[in-house]
Amino acid sequence: MIKNNQQTFNRIHVLLDAFIIILSYYISYKLRFEFLPAHFDFFLLETAYHYPVDIYARQLFYIIPGYIVIYYLGHLYDPKRSKGKRVELWNLLKANTIGIIYYIIVLYVFIKDIHFSRKFILVFFVVTVLLEYIFRLALAASLQHLRRKGFNMKHILVVGYSQAAESYIDRIVNNPQWGYLIHGILDDTKKKHLAYKGVHVIGTVDELKYFLATNDLDEIAITLSIDEYSKLESIVSICEKSGVHTKFVPDYHNIIPTNPYTEDLNGLPVINIRNVPLSNSFNKFIKRVIDIFGAIVALIIFSIPMIIVTIIIKLTSEGPIIFSQNRVGLHNREFKMYKFRSMAVQTETKERKAWTTINDPRVTKIGSIIRKTSIDELPQLFNVLKGDMSLIGPRPERPFFVEKFKEEIPRYMIKHQVRPGLTGWAQVNGYRGDTSIRKRIDHDLYYIENWTLGLDFKILVMTFFKGFVNKNAY
């Protein structure tokens, strides 16, 4: 059973982590006192004297158990079949930051020995994160190789044929490195031997007890269609009596968010259909302060390119330098969004209902360049200062297309629960210009439901590396 394997694996993992911490500690000592130049300071002023290695080694007696407990609480020993490398790195950074704080408190508050090197502590943090991450990458690669060969598999039975079941099977089939093996589907509405991507209907829901008794299963995935939820309670009861781990994949996953916000209403669990972190007043305030500061800095940095573009537009084509267009923003309110004019002047009726196309004759020579490089978007920094827009957020659309898309694309209007942005999660992932609207909205919804300052900074960095050049702009 995977459960027993996981327990054995975790024990080995703990021992290996303890070894890596010892190795990191020794390497850090060597780096700090034998290899790093004397002027390596980082404002951490220290004397030339340092304790011998055996004095430092004594600290491992409380560092190792402390770190192991912190790693456990930081979910570093949870099953990692479907977790990404970024999540693992983020968890490692958090756990090691807490570990270093723990080390400093014990060292300088409880032991009260000020002669331990602060530079050593800094080096130890960096080396530990680096070695632990390399170890986990190697471990993940080894496990994925074994799972592709058919080892270390988690055996699953799916109960209920629905859209949720198909979505679940899609993800399992597309990620063999996760090591999931689906034995079949139990359903009352489909004929036996019907298959979806190689997974067959092998019986009815009433046969669940039989399959639990005669198969060595690790997990049951309940994927009933929404009109069969009356069976849910009895199925859960049967699974719990068998002791097999049970998961519920709701058939309304396209309604609730990936990370739903739940409330405890005096013992009654309540799921909020939409969790929008930016509806929180503190989050809104912080984001607005960063927007104002960032817009001012950006205007200073890009002031010379903006002046140059202004002069070129004025000299090469007739019409205004700045082009304003109605867009739909926060709470479905319309606002005037500014751009450098990149097209010949046209009537409002033609402009509001048409996208640009390849070799569009309306685009000026300078317009083609500034559209490709997103320089035409720079005047929107003034929209940010006015409060119409944010630096990061879903791109705003014209009223005509909003009316069109809200009828065609489910959940489209949710994007208007936050301020629109100059750049966003969809844009840095390649969905800008003439690309899939549905994919764009999926990315916008992910941003809205999972917003953090960290995600904003990540999008900002990604914009500088791959977000300015727009291959889909004509």
Q: Tens digits of per-residue pLDDT, 284-306?
A: 999 999 999 999 999 999 999 89
Instruction: Report yes or no on 290 lying in a domain.
Output: yes
The residue with tokens 């002023």 is 45
Considering the domain architecture, whether residues 84 and 129 belong to the same structural domain is answered as yes
262-275: average pLDDT:
79
79-101: average pLDDT:
83
pLDDT at 120: 87
The number of folded domains in the chain is 3
pLDDT at 355: 54
Considering the domain architecture, whether residues 236 and 315 belong to the same structural domain is answered as no
The answer on pLDDT for 27 being more than 90 is: yes
> What are 224-241's pLDDT values in tens digits?
998 899 999 999 999 888
Q: Which of 32-46, 143-157, 337-351 bottoms out in mean pLDDT, i.e. has the lowest? A: 32-46
**Predicted confidence band at 439 (pLDDT cuts at 50, 70, 90)?**
confident
pLDDT at 354: 55
Instruction: Report yes or no on 333 lying in a domain.
Output: yes
Percent of the chain clearing pLDDT 70 (strictly above): 88
The answer on pLDDT for 360 being more than 90 is: no
Considering the domain architecture, whether residues 117 and 158 belong to the same structural domain is answered as no
pLDDT at 44: 47
Domain enclosing residue 346, as ranges: 281-467
Considering the domain architecture, whether residues 215 and 306 belong to the same structural domain is answered as no
Considering the domain architecture, whether residues 299 and 382 belong to the same structural domain is answered as yes
Considering the domain architecture, whether residues 138 and 173 belong to the same structural domain is answered as no
**Predicted confidence band at 258 (pLDDT cuts at 50, 70, 90)?**
low
pLDDT at 43: 46
Instruction: Report yes or no on 267 lying in a domain.
Output: no
The answer on pLDDT for 186 being more than 50 is: yes
Instruction: Report yes or no on 262 lying in a domain.
Output: no
**End residue of a domain, out of 115, 148, 181:** 148
Considering the domain architecture, whether residues 135 and 161 belong to the same structural domain is answered as no
